[in-house]
Structure 1
Amino acid sequence: MKTTTIKIIFFVWIALVFASCGKKEETVPETRKILVYCDEAIYNLMLPCVLHYDSTGSVVKVEFRKTSAWDAMAKLLARETDAIIIARDYTRYEDSLMKAFNVYPHQRLTLARDALVFYVSKASPLDTLTDEQIRNYLTDKNYSLKRIYKQLPSEPIIAVNSPLSSELVNLNKLVLKGNKIQRPLKIFQTHDSVKMYVKSNPNAIGIGYLSHLYAEPDLRALPVSFYDSTGKYIFPHNINQPNILRRLYPYIVEHYIYILDKLNDNSMTFARYLYNPGYPQKYFFDKGIVPANAEFRLVEEE
């Protein structure tokens, strides 16, 4: 075996020497590279998928940058990136801007389904909330949760990510339904900072994604009761993959990849890698959220 290895190396070395002495220069393969901006709220979730993609030996290299959801979308609309990965839809402002400049909706793929959650520390006395209570508490500064939940020491502090985050956009769309926030919020610049604050404050309620709470034993998401689109009352359920699939939680969020140019093979190759069955889809499942491109068989326990 050693002899074979030495011979191969020797012949390769001889070939290189002769090639370097020749008059013709070899053509250097063209570097294929794409730029992708990612929503800060899901950057940590998506980064291992990008690193795995690079490790497969793909000829397309991905420059993966973290930024706010608003900035990512701004770069897409300004044609300053090949793709973006964010946890929200277009806002009404972005929709209006696109219509004004005759910009068509971008090609996009849903990569996974997550949940916008209201979470507390392990020491919090809160167990559940209702959809109506959350909305009223945020939009009416005189509304009291302490009157309803006597075990609370005082009115809870709501901790949130940056106003430029996808969490705030999803809060407005899914929870507030167009109503304005009237209650003061404790605002941070990253979702990790929100988690750190909630861990050390039993009277705080953090707003984030279910995927943020993976492997976080000191934090727990509050089940939320609500009325579904048919008017049926849905009692509070634990927030997990089966109940997201069953739509037994009201605030379901999709993680998208938006592509600037669907005719760009490099961008589409990367997007399909994230979307098609394979490492990323299994990885999302292992992280406790719902992969978009997978088959599930739910078995009811007796």
Structure 2
Amino acid sequence: MKTWSSLLLIVLLGIAVGCKEEQPQGESLFRGNATIACDQEVARLIAPQVDSFALHHEGAHINLETTTALDAMQRLLTGRVRAAIIARDYLPQEDSLLRAYSIEPHKRFLIATDALVFVTAGQTALDTASDDIVRRTLNGERTWLAKYRWSVPNVSSSLAAHLRTIAGGAVRMAALAVPTGDSTIAVVRQGKSDIGVALLSQYLRQKAVEPSLRALRIVIRDTATGDRIAVAPHAATIVKETYPYRVPIYGYLLETARNFPYGVIASIAQEPRPQRAMLNAGIVPGYAKIQLVEPD
């Protein structure tokens, strides 16, 4: 941890230097050049929105670099990119050091809220697990859920960070590590894993191809009634905040000025076209009023 902290301190010192750089001349909200790092877990959601922005704004040149969440944040912190789109908040170490050295958090926009889901194949009878059992299993306890073969994204993934949070600090269960959430679904479909950890948007995209895929319902305690209820991952349960494993997708900005990277990220987070794309992907747009209609 000491080595990690020392490395991040050097990175943080680089932020202060980078923030003093002058903005490129002739740049506007919709015209300019920018390299943006993108979390590979959400790249298939984001890339079409970036391409659309460039198509609709003459003089907009964007280099979207797809990488892991950990690397995307490191590129932002070192000033190698002017923005980063990542499906997580700061890691605890990142947040603590920012505060310890009085460095302001990055300006950011909430692009959408996704969810972490547990994907199974049709041949597996499993369809429901309690929040408590999930947390205990991830923490390494020998629960009934631990008897299944798990596949999880590797430690640099944003999904791995969310798993650590759910587990209370560290994931201690045995699992097959693969690059991304899409990869976990692939090994589930191949019969090499019983449960794969992925994003709701990834699951819905692959379920359109393989309808037999399922996502576990999570049993929670209803805060209003005290009853135990099984909650399916869905945009509606994300909005209602009943599904417990929600995943924010943030657009982080290196600079605070209303410049070209600001225009790109703000557009994806607020304009109707990209926000509609988030809704069509089955997740909750960050900049929209959602009205849920309860059935009679």
* TM-score greater than 0.5 by the shorter chain: yes
Structure with max Cα Rg: 1
Deviation at 1:97, TM superposition (A): 2.6
Residues of 1 paired with 2:75 and 2:102: CA distance? 17
Residues of 1 paired with 2:113 and 2:76: CA distance? 22
- Cα deviation, 1:172-219, whole Å, max 9, x if unaligned, reads 22x2123x3222110012332211101122751111110001232242
Which residue pairs with 2:40 in the alignment?
A: 40
Q: Is the 8 A contact 1:121 1:200 kept in 2?
A: no
Which residue pairs with 1:94 in the alignment?
A: 94
Q: Which amino acid aligns with 1:42?
A: V
Matched ranges for 1:58-73 at <5 A: 58-73=58-73
Residues of 2 paired with 1:64 and 1:228: CA distance? 42
Are residues 1:292 and 2:286 paired?
yes
Matched ranges for 1:153-302 at <5 A: 155-173=147-165, 175-178=166-169, 180-201=170-191, 204-215=194-205, 216=207, 217-227=211-221, 232-302=226-296
Residues of 2 paired with 1:99 and 1:293: CA distance? 28
- For this pair of structures, how many residues does the alignment match? 264
**Mind listing any 5+ residue stretches in structure 2 that lack a counterpart?**
1-25
Which residue pairs with 1:117 in the alignment?
A: 117
Deviation at 1:263, TM superposition (A): 0.6
Q: Which amino acid aligns with 2:72?
A: A
Residues of 2 paired with 1:156 and 1:233: CA distance? 28
Q: Which amino acid aligns with 1:195?
A: I
**Mind listing any 5+ residue stretches in structure 1 that lack a counterpart?**
1-28, 147-154
Deviation at 1:227, TM superposition (A): 3.0
User: Aligned to 1:262, what secondary structure does the other structure show?
Assistant: coil
User: Aligned to 1:41, what secondary structure does the other structure show?
Assistant: coil
Paired-residue identity, %: 30
Structure 1's 140 and 190: CA in aligned 2 closer, same or farther, altered over 3 A? closer
Q: Which amino acid aligns with 1:158?
A: W
Structure 1's 56 and 229: CA in aligned 2 closer, same or farther, altered over 3 A? same
Residues of 2 paired with 1:41 and 1:86: CA distance? 8
Structure 1's 301 and 272: CA in aligned 2 closer, same or farther, altered over 3 A? same
Comparing 206-215 with 80-89, which one deviates more in the overlay? 206-215
Q: Which amino acid aligns with 1:171?
A: L
Deviation at 1:101, TM superposition (A): 3.8
- Cα deviation, 1:45-87, whole Å, max 9, x if unaligned, reads 1111111111113422111010100011111111111000000
Residues of 1 paired with 2:73 and 2:222: CA distance? 30
Q: Is the 8 A contact 2:150 2:193 kept in 1?
A: no
- Cα deviation, 1:139-161, whole Å, max 9, x if unaligned, reads 23433338xxxxxxxx2111011
Residues of 1 paired with 2:32 and 2:271: CA distance? 24
TM-score normalised by the chain length of structure 2: 0.83
Are residues 1:54 and 2:54 paired?
yes
Deviation at 1:232, TM superposition (A): 3.6
Q: Which amino acid aligns with 1:262?
A: T
TM-score normalised by the chain length of structure 1: 0.82
Which residue pairs with 1:9 in the alignment?
A: none
